[in-house]
C-alpha cells in the first residue's frame, strides 16, 4: 500500500499542472475505523481548489458528498469509512478539466481497543488544574520557536515562561502522590499570537500542539504515561472563539464563519438573556455573537460546515490523545443549539465519557439550565453531564471571610448548597475554590492558612468532583485583586535554578510544607474513601460559627465539622444522634480514635474530619 501511495504521488508530480502544494491543508488528516461517526467532512484548503473534483480509490472508503462555499479556495468533502475498511494511507486526487491538479495523502487508522467505552472522570476523582506554561520547563530548547511571534521572557508576568508538556511528564509522580487522579491543563494548542499567548485560549490551529509546548505525539505520550500512574487527561476545548492569528482569518472558509461580519463587536456578557423570558433579542444576540476581545474572533457555529468541523475536532482529540474528559471553555457563549448537538455527538461516540462546561454564573438556576436531564421552560435540551459549580465557588469564598449572620458566613454556603434541587445531578458538578481566572484562595483569605485549610477540607468532602489549582499546595498566593499573570505564577522547582522546589520539598518554608502535607493527606484520604465519592450528603444549619455535615451510606459515614471561630468550640453532639448513636469514630487523616460523648471539641479555625462506623 505504501508503494501504491508513493507511485500516486510521483505520477501527480509528472503532470505539469499537478502541484501538491496547491492543497495547503486537509483537516482532519486522518479518521478511525469503527467510529459511530463514520462519515467525516474534510476541510480542504488550496488556491482555487473549488473548481476541482476529489476522488479516491480505496476499498471501504468512499466520497459521498462535496460542498462548496462562497470562497473558491475551499472544498468540504465528506468521506465515509466502512466498518470493514483496512487501516493505512491513501491518496485523494483532485481533478479539474480531466487532469489531476493535486494529490494529497490521507489516512485511516484502527481504534484502540475499548476506545468507545472509555470511562470518563467522575466524582471518584480529584482534578489537578495547571497552566502548562507556568508549571515546569522540561525542555528549554523549545522555549522560543521561530515563527511563533512571542518568545519566552520569564521576567514578564504576562509573557511566556517556557513550561511545556515535557515538564508535566517529568512530574506525573508528584501529581499522583498528592492524591490527584485527573489532570486538566489549560489549552496547549498553537497560539501564534504576538502577546499573551501563554494562557492558550486564543488558538490559531485547532489540530496542532503549540511547538513551544511540544508536539501532538507528546500530548499522546503524556496521556498514555499519565494513565499508567492512575491519572486521566482532561482537555480544555474552546468552541466559542479562536485567536486573531488563526490561519482562517487570512482566508475565511465562508463569509459567515466569524460573527459580526468578522469585525470586532464586544459581547455584553449578559448570560441570563438565554433563559430570561423577557430578554430583548438584541441583547441575546450581543451575548452569543459578541467577541470577548479583539484578539479572539467569535465563531459562528450556525454555519453547518463550521459546526461539523468543531464536532469532528473534539472527537479527533478524544480518540487521538486518549482523553478521559473535556472541560469546555466559555460554555453558553456559543450558539445554544450547537452546544446540544456537539455534546450529544460526543456522548453518542463515547457514552461513558465526561465533560464539564464553564458557565460563570453565581445563579444556580442558570448553571443548571445546561446540565443533562434538565427540563427547561424554553424547550432547550442540554446534554452536558457536568458543569463547573460557580455558585458554590463564590459562596465558599464568601463564607470563609464574612462574619456569621442570618445570610452570611457559613449560612450563605449552607443556603447555596440547598439549591441542589435545581440540578438534575448535583453530584456530577465540579467544585472548586479557585482556578486560573480567579484570585487564589490564599490571597482571598489574606494569607490565613487556617482559613485556607477550611476551604480545602470543604472542597475534598462536599458532593461533586473537586478541582484543585496547581501551586496552592505550596501557598502560591498572588494578588487579592485579579491579575492573571501573577495568579498563574511559576511552580517553584519547575525551572532549573529555582531557589525552592515544590516537587522535592527542598528549601520550601515550614508553612509551605505544612500546606503541602495537608493537601497530600486530604486528597489521598478522599481517593480511598468511597463515601466521599458517592455517599449521600446531609447538612445541618450552621450555628455559632460551626457548619456540620455528613457523607453517609448505611451505618458508615464521614462527619465534617468546620469551625471558623478564632477560638475552640464545644460542639454538642445530641443534634447528630441519628448519625452517631452507638457508633465509633476516628480521625480521618491520622486514624486516631475519637470518643463520641456529649460534646466534641473543635480546635479554632479548623476542620474536624471523622470516619464513623
Mean pLDDT of 114-120: 98
| Neighbouring C-alpha atoms within 13 Å toward the C-beta of 14 | 6
Contact 487, 438 (CB under 8 A): yes
Residue 542 has pLDDT above 90, yes or no: yes
Residue 12 has pLDDT above 90, yes or no: no
Residue 4 has pLDDT above 80, yes or no: no
Mean pLDDT of 164-181: 99
Q: If pLDDT is split at 50, 70 and 90, which confidence band does 7 have?
A: very low
Contact 150, 133 (CB under 8 A): no
Domain tally for the chain? 3
Are 523 and 594 part of one and the same domain? Answer: no
Contact 381, 353 (CB under 8 A): no
Considering only CA atoms, give the Rg of the chain.
Answer: 26
Asked, for residue 598, whether it belongs to a domain, the answer is yes
Calpha distance 383→353 (Å, rounded): 12
59-69 pLDDT tens trace:
999 999 999 99
Asked, for residue 325, whether it belongs to a domain, the answer is no
Give buried/exposed letters for 221-234 (b at 16+ CB in 10 A, else e): bbbeebeeeebbbb
Residue 18 has pLDDT above 60, yes or no: no
State the DSSP H helix or E strand holding residue 173, giving kind and residue range, or none if neither: helix 172-177
Asked, for residue 202, whether it belongs to a domain, the answer is yes
The residues, any chain, with a CB within 8 Å of residue 65's CB and separated by 6 or more, are: 41, 77, 78
Are 142 and 227 part of one and the same domain? Answer: yes
Q: Which domain holds residue 148?
A: 125-232+433-528
CATH number at residue 563: 2.60.40.1180
Are 68 and 141 part of one and the same domain? Answer: no
Contact 129, 467 (CB under 8 A): yes
Residue 410 has pLDDT above 50, yes or no: yes
Asked, for residue 394, whether it belongs to a domain, the answer is no
Question: Residue 2: what pLDDT?
Answer: 44
Q: Which of 143, 358, 404, 434 is catalytic?
A: 358
As a whole number, the mean pLDDT across the chain is 96
Are 150 and 223 part of one and the same domain? Answer: yes
CATH number at residue 62: 2.60.40.10
Asked, for residue 136, whether it belongs to a domain, the answer is yes
The residue among 346, 322, 65, 342 whose CA lies nearest residue 216 is: 322
Of 528, 544, 563, the position where a domain reaches its end is 528
574-607 pLDDT tens trace:
999 999 999 999 999 999 999 999 999 999 999 9
Are 89 and 156 part of one and the same domain? Answer: no
Question: Residue 17: what pLDDT?
Answer: 42
The residues, any chain, with a CB within 8 Å of residue 491's CB and separated by 6 or more, are: 130, 134, 135, 136, 163, 470, 471, 474, 476, 502, 503
Are 441 and 523 part of one and the same domain? Answer: yes
425-479 pLDDT tens trace:
999 999 999 999 999 999 999 999 999 999 999 999 999 999 999 999 999 999 9
Are 76 and 159 part of one and the same domain? Answer: no
Are 141 and 220 part of one and the same domain? Answer: yes
Q: If pLDDT is split at 50, 70 and 90, which confidence band does 22 have?
A: confident
Of 67, 84, 109, the position where a domain reaches its end is 109
Question: Residue 470: what pLDDT?
Answer: 99
Asked, for residue 552, whether it belongs to a domain, the answer is yes
Are 507 and 554 part of one and the same domain? Answer: no
Q: Which of 125, 139, 205, 329 is catalytic?
A: 329
Residue 20 has pLDDT above 90, yes or no: no
Asked, for residue 359, whether it belongs to a domain, the answer is no
Contact 360, 430 (CB under 8 A): no
Calpha distance 391→571 (Å, rounded): 28
CATH number at residue 466: 3.20.20.80
**Active-site residue flag, 358:** yes
Asked, for residue 485, whether it belongs to a domain, the answer is yes
Of 502, 528, 554, the position where a domain reaches its end is 528
Calpha distance 17→99 (Å, rounded): 8
365 class by beta-carbon count within 10 Å (0-12 exposed, 13-18 middle, 19+ buried): middle
329-385 pLDDT tens trace:
999 999 999 999 999 999 999 999 999 999 999 999 999 999 999 999 999 999 999
Are 103 and 11 part of one and the same domain? Answer: yes
Calpha distance 248→279 (Å, rounded): 33
Are 546 and 608 part of one and the same domain? Answer: yes
144-164 pLDDT tens trace:
999 999 999 999 999 999 999
Residue 11 has pLDDT above 60, yes or no: no
The residues, any chain, with a CB within 8 Å of residue 183's CB and separated by 6 or more, are: 127, 128, 130, 168, 172, 175, 226, 231, 232, 233, 234
3-state secondary structure of 532: helix
Amino acid at each position: 500500500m505504501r508503494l501504491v501511495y508513493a507511485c500516486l504521488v510521483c505520477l501527480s508530480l509528472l503532470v505539469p499542472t499537478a502541484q501538491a502544494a496547491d492543497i495547503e491543508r486537509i483537516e482532519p488528516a486522518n479518521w478511525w475505523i469503527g467510529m459511530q461517526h463514520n462519515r467525516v467532512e474534510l476541510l480542504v484548503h488550496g488556491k482555487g481548489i473549488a473548481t476541482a473534483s476529489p476522488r479516491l480509490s480505496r476499498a471501504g472508503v468512499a466520497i459521498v458528498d462535496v460542498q462548496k462555499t462562497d470562497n473558491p479556495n475551499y472544498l468540504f468533502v465528506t468521506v465515509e469509512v466502512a466498518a470493514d475498511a483496512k487501516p493505512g494511507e491513501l491518496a485523494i486526487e483532485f481533478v479539474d478539466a480531466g487532469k489531476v491538479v493535486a494529490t494529497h495523502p490521507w489516512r485511516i487508522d484502527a481504534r484502540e481497543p475499548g476506545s468507545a467505552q472509555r470511562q470518563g472522570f467522575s466524582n471518584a476523582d480529584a482534578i489537578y488544574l495547571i497552566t502548562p506554561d507556568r508549571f515546569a520547563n522540561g525542555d528549554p530548547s523549545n522555549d522560543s520557536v521561530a515563527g511563533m511571534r512571542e518568545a519566552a521572557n520569564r521576567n514578564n508576568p504576562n509573557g511566556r515562561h517556557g513550561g511545556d508538556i515535557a515538564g508535566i511528564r517529568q512530574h506525573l509522580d508528584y501529581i499522583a502522590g498528592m492524591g490527584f487522579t485527573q489532570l486538566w491543563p489549560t489549552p496547549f494548542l498553537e497560539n501564534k499570537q504576538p502577546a499573551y499567548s501563554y494562557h492558550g485560549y486564543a488558538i490559531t490551529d485547532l489540530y496542532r500542539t503549540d511547538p513551544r509546548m511540544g508536539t501532538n505525539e507528546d500530548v499522546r505520550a503524556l496521556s498514555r504515561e499519565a494513565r499508567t500512574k492512575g491519572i486521566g487527561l482532561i482537555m480544555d476545548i474552546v468552541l466559542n472563539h479562536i485567536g486573531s492569528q488563526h490561519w482562517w482569518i487570512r482566508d475565511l472558509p465562508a463569509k459567515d464563519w466569524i460573527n459580526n461580519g468578522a469585525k470586532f463587536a464586544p459581547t455584553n456578557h449578559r448570560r441570563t438573556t438565554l433563559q430570561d423570558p423577557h430578554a430583548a433579542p438584541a441583547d441575546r444576540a450581543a451575548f452569543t455573537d459578541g467577541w470577548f476581545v479583539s484578539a479572539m474572533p467569535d465563531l459562528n457555529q450556525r454555519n453547518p460546515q463550521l459546526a461539523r468541523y468543531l464536532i469532528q475536532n473534539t472527537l479527533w482529540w478524544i480518540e487521538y490523545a486518549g482523553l478521559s474528559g473535556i472541560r469546555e471553555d466559555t460554555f453558553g457563549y456559543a450558539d445554544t443549539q450547537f452546544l446540544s448537538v456537539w455534546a450529544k455527538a460526543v456522548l453518542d461516540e463515547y457514552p461513558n465519557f465526561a465533560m464539564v462546561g464553564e458557565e460563570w454564573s453565581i445563579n444556580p438556576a442558570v448553571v443548571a439550565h445546561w446540565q443533562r436531564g434538565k427540563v427547561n421552560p424554553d424547550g432547550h435540551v442540554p446534554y452536558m453531564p457536568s458543569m463547573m459549580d460557580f455558585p458554590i465557588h463564590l459562596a465558599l469564598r464568601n463564607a470563609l471571610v464574612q462574619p456569621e449572620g442570618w445570610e452570611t458566613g457559613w449560612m450563605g454556603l449552607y443556603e447555596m448548597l440547598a439549591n441542589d434541587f435545581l440540578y438534575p445531578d448535583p453530584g456530577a458538578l465540579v467544585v472548586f475554590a479557585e482556578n486560573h481566572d480567579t484570585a487564589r484562595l490564599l490571597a482571598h483569605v489574606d494569607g490565613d492558612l487556617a482559613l485556607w485549610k477550611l476551604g480545602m477540607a470543604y472542597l475534598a468532602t462536599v458532593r461533586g468532583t473537586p478541582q484543585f489549582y496547581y501551586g496552592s499546595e505550596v501557598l502560591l498566593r498572588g494578588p487579592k485583586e485579579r491579575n492573571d499573570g501573577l495568579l498563574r505564577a511559576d511552580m517553584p522547582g519547575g525551572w532549573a535554578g529555582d531557589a525552592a522546589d515544590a516537587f522535592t520539598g527542598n528549601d520550601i518554608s515550614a508553612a509551605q510544607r505544612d500546606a503541602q502535607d495537608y493537601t497530600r493527606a486530604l486528597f489521598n484520604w478522599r481517593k480511598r474513601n468511597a463515601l466521599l465519592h458517592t455517599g449521600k450528603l446531609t447538612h445541618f444549619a450552621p450555628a455559632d460559627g460551626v457548619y456540620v455535615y455528613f457523607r453517609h451510606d448505611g451505618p458508615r459515614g464521614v462527619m465534617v465539622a468546620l469551625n471558623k471561630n478564632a477560638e475552640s468550640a464545644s460542639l454538642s453532639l445530641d443534634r447528630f444522634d441519628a448519625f452517631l448513636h452507638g457508633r465509633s469514630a476516628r480521625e480521618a487523616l491520622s486514624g486516631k480514635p475519637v470518643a463520641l460523648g456529649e460534646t466534641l471539641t473543635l480546635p479554632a479555625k479548623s476542620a474536624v474530619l471523622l470516619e464513623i462506623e
